Amino acid sequence: MSALKKRYYQKIDEEIYSATLDNGLSLSIIKKKGFLEKAAFLSINFGSIDNCYYLDGELQTYPAGIAHFLEHKLFEDEQGKDVTLDFVKLGADVNAFTTLDRTTYYFSTLDNFEEALGLLLKFTSGFTSSEKSVNHEKKIIEQEINMYQDDPDYRAYLGCLQNLYPNTILGQDIAGNNESIEKITVEDLKNNFDCFYRPENCHLVLVGDFDVDDVYTFVNERQRRLTELKTIVEKEKNSLRPRSKKGTIFKWRCLSPN
């Protein structure tokens, strides 16, 4: 078991304990003395731009929005039940989000922190679903996509990206679009889970007033159960150089003066 390293950040007046566990998981612990609420964040280095990558030297291409889709489906356990209900029983508030380059699952709670942390580590360490369940989820995600289309601020933001990065994954909605969502299969989700949801590709951050050594030991014991996969994933490089094309984000129609 690797030792915790303590580092003080003067600008923010915080001490952060960090370590890389034997299975590759990156761990950061931020002790907040006197705080009642505790929180945990598990971030996976897998986001919306990672729909094309090399697996053992072979190019893999998946529909846009697959990282966000996988985020949704992980909240379903082996029996098809929503794991959010298990967090509610512990008095914890749980959620997740997907960005361009990562997916993060998190919870906060006043009590039962270790139980909730164990649940977080458990439901993000395995994927089980069916084609029927995936097809049902497509309708939910499509509703989410359509909802954001009614948000002027989001449409302006997405329009900027589409003009800066035309015909690239950087210019697409993180959730994909209705056409790309329909192409996603349960096998696609399983393949991407196996490639990216691995300890060495994850970063766990714990925040709260708890014994650092105790919570470190708890995480280590839980992580020993996970085995490291031997596949090699190499992400496809995306150009971050802004490119513009002719056009505007919005089309305005003005009335001619009388």
Q: What is the pLDDT averaged over residues 134-158?
A: 93
Tell me the pLDDT band of 252, cut-offs 50, 70 and 90. Answer: very low
DSSP state of 179: H
Tell me the pLDDT band of 223, cut-offs 50, 70 and 90. Answer: confident
Q: Tell me what pLDDT residue 56 has.
A: 86
Name the nearest CA neighbour of 68 among 140, 150, 133.
140
SS3 (DSSP) at 78: coil
Q: What is the pLDDT averaged over residues 23-32?
A: 95
CA distances to 50, 80, 132 from 129, in Å = 22, 7, 8
Using one digit for the tens of pLDDT, what is the confidence trace for 41-65?
999 999 999 999 998 889 999 999 9
User: Against a cut of 0.95, is the pTM above it?
Assistant: no
Q: Answer yes or no: are the C-beta atoms of 75 and 84 closer than 8 Å.
A: yes
Q: Which domains does the chain have, with CATH numbers?
A: 5-235 (3.30.830.10)
Is a pLDDT exceeding 60 seen at residue 81? yes
Q: Supply the residues annotated as catalytic.
A: 71
Is a pLDDT exceeding 60 seen at residue 19? yes
Using one digit for the tens of pLDDT, what is the confidence trace for 84-97?
999 999 999 999 99
CA atoms within 13 A on the CB side of 12: 8
